[in-house]
């Protein structure tokens, strides 16, 4: 055996030298449950987490640099797709709204309705993936595939509309790339009616499963004031009992026309703000999205979806911050225009980047298996965290 090192080990980001009984474990960047290339440097005492240092940036693709190098504003949209690739429509929508606000464009009613339908379908698709992978992190494999089966039907709808299944480039500044196919509203309605029973199925398979509740209740509790101070948003914030949804509290597009509830965590099986609450918020949000969809598909007006698309975009010098509620939380675009045809700076405030920064605070004192549960309940997408 080699002699034990005399000098205690120090780690960047960890305030004190390591004690003798503590051990560093690298979770990731290749690990089945880090949802991509996230590396968590765990400092553990047996199975208990003493501290955790997240390392991100393995998927950094210089979105912000690319956006500055584009020759016009429209070319940024495909890059937006690639940030949160699980909810590309929502990313496009945020960027399009930001540019439209800057240019003062009023988009046609038909476009607004189609955008809302797409965004809500995307929300359901994203939450299905989040729930499925969360279940898999806890060890339940079957709900994962059930969720993928239903997500697939939403992707089929997207494919019929714009030909792409994952990265759509569908929502353009001032309009849409295509109109929807003729029987689209009917298909969405079919999806809504057939999807409701599958939520019940999911609830009976996973939500109220005793083991699942044991693993998620009282785990990773995030108090409301801590969540706000850390800037959490989306289901992570609502899971802590804060009724805050930008669709309601800072309405954009035409969300003020629809009736829907904002589900919040109430600590039904554990403490308010635990993993189960974050999970159930997503399940209930899918039901609310169905409600919005049902209201929206009946009201789509006729019109040309490309009539408001500007030929050339050259805003005056200005800077503004526009935020939208994506499935994962508050997605903000801070765009600085310098009077040329391409943006001088596009800063993205990715919801999961901010939500992920709470992970160390939530994990201290938990066990290794809990870290997986907490990480799954935050629902990160590394494409967006790293950009």
Partner 1 sequence: MIPQEILDTLIKQFPGVTFELKKAGSGDPSILVPPDRILDVSRFLRDDDRMAFDSLMCLSGVDYTGGRMGVVYHLDSMTKRHKVTLKVEVSDDQPECQSVESVWKTANWHEREAFDLFGIRFAGHPDLRRILLPDDWVGHPLRKDYELPEYYRGMKVPY
Partner 2 sequence: MKELLVDLLGNELLVYVLMAFVPLLWILPFALFAVWWERKIAAHMQDRLGPMRTGGWHGWAQTIADILKLIQKEDIIPTAADRLLFSLAPFVVFIGAYTAFAAIPFSAAYVGTEINIGLFYIIAVSSFVVIGLLMAGWSSNNKWSLFGAMRSAAQVVSYEIPIALTLLAVVMIVGSFDLQEINRAQSGSILNWFIFQKFPLLFAAALIYFVASLAEVNRTPFDIPEAESELVAGYHTEYGGMKFALFFLAEYANMFAVSIIAATVFLGGWNSPFGEALSGPLWGVFWVLSKSMGFVFVQMWLRWTLPRLRVDQLMYVGWKVLIPFSFVIILGVGFWVLLEG
> Which chain residues interact with partner 2 by CB under 8 A?
23, 25, 31-33, 47, 135-142, 145-146, 149, 205-206, 209, 211-212, 214-215, 367-370, 372
Residues forming a β-bridge with 39: 55
Rounded Cα–Cα distance for residues 2 and 4 (Å): 6
Segment interacting with partner 1, rule: CB under 8 A, options 36-44, 176-184, 197-205, 347-355: 347-355
Closest approach of partner 1 to the CB of residue 328, in Å = 15
> Considering beta carbons, is residue 195 or 353 the nearer one to partner 1?
353
- Our finding on whether 23 is near partner 1 (CB under 8 A) is no
Binding track over 103-142 against partner 1, x by CB under 8 A: xx--------------------------------------
Which residue bears the tokens 């693709």? 61
Binding track over 24-63 against partner 1, x by CB under 8 A: --------------------------------xx--x-x-
Segment interacting with partner 1, rule: CB under 8 A, options 145-153, 169-177, 275-283, 344-352: 344-352
Residue from the set 26, 160, 223, 249 that interacts with partner 1 by CB under 8 A: 249
> Considering beta carbons, is residue 136 or 305 the nearer one to partner 2?
136
Cite the DSSP H helix spans in 32-81.
63-69, 77-81
- Our finding on whether 182 is near partner 1 (CB under 8 A) is no
Rounded Cα–Cα distance for residues 263 and 274 (Å): 15
Q: What angle do CA 231, 235, 237 make, to 5 degrees?
A: 35
Asked if residue 276 lies in contact with residue 217, where contact means CB atoms within 8 angstroms, the answer is yes
Count other C-beta atoms under 10 Å from residue 364's C-beta. Answer: 13
DSSP category for residue 86 = T
> Considering beta carbons, is residue 70 or 367 the nearer one to partner 2?
367
Edge-to-edge order in the sheet of strand 23-27: 23-27, 39-45, 48-55
Rounded Cα–Cα distance for residues 387 and 377 (Å): 21
Q: Which tokens in the block code for residue 75?
A: 């070319």
Q: Which tokens in the block code for residue 106?
A: 């009023």
Closest approach of partner 2 to the CB of residue 137, in Å = 5
Q: Which tokens in the block code for residue 74?
A: 């429209």
323 binds, among partner 2, partner 1, none (CB under 5 to 8 A by kind): partner 1
SS3 33: coil
Half-sphere exposure of 335 (CA within 13 A, CB side): 27
Closest approach of partner 1 to the CB of residue 17, in Å = 16
> Considering beta carbons, is residue 132 or 263 the nearer one to partner 2?
132
Give the residue from 332, 349, 334, 327 showing the smallest Cα distance to 94: 332
Binding site for partner 1 (CB under 8 A): 12-13, 56-57, 60, 62, 64-65, 68, 101-104, 226, 228-231, 242, 244, 249, 315-321, 323, 330, 332, 334, 336-337, 345, 347, 349, 353-354, 357-358, 361, 386-387
């Amino acid at each position: 055996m080699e002699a034990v090192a005399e000098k205690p080990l120090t780690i960047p980001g960890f305030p004190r030298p390591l004690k003798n009984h503590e051990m560093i474990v690298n979770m990731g960047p290749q690990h089945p449950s880090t949802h991509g290339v996230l590396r968590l440097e765990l400092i553990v005492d047996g199975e208990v987490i003493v501290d955790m240092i997240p390392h991100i940036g393995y998927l950094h693709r210089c979105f912000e640099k690319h956006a500055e190098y584009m020759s016009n504003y429209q070319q940024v949209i495909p890059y937006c797709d690639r940030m949160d690739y699980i909810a590309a429509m929502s990313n496009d929508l945020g960027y399009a709204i930001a540019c439209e606000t800057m240019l003062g464009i009023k988009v046609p009613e038909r476009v607004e309705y189609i955008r809302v339908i797409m965004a809500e379908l995307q929300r359901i698709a994203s939450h299905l993936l989040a729930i499925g992978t969360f279940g898999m992190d806890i060890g339940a494999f079957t709900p994962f595939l059930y969720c993928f089966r239903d997500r697939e039907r939403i992707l089929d709808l997207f494919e019929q509309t714009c030909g792409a299944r994952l990265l759509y480039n569908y929502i353009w500044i001032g309009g849409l790339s295509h109109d929807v196919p003729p029987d689209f509203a009917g298909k969405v309605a079919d999806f809504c009616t057939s999807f409701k029973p599958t939520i019940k199925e999911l609830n009976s398979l996973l939500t109220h499963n005793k083991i699942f509740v044991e693993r998620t209740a009282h785990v990773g509790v995030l108090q409301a004031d801590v969540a706000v101070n850390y800037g959490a948003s989306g289901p992570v914030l609502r899971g802590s009992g804060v009724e805050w949804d930008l669709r309601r509290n800072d309405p954009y597009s035409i969300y003020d026309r629809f009736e829907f509830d904002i589900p919040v965590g109430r600590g039904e099986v554990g403490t308010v703000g635990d993993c189960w609450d974050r999970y159930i918020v997503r399940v209930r949000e899918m039901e609310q999205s169905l409600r919005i969809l049902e209201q929206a598909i009946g009201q789509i007006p006729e019109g040309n979806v490309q009539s408001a698309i500007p030929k050339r975009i050259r805003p005056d010098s200005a800077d503004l911050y526009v935020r939208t509620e994506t499935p994962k939380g508050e997605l903000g675009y801070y765009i600085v225009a310098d009077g040329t045809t391409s943006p001088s700076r596009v800063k993205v405030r990715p919801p999961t980047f901010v939500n992920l920064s709470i992970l160390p605070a939530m994990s201290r004192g938990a066990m290794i298996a809990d870290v997986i549960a907490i990480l799954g309940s935050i629902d990160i997408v590394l494409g967006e965290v790293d950009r």
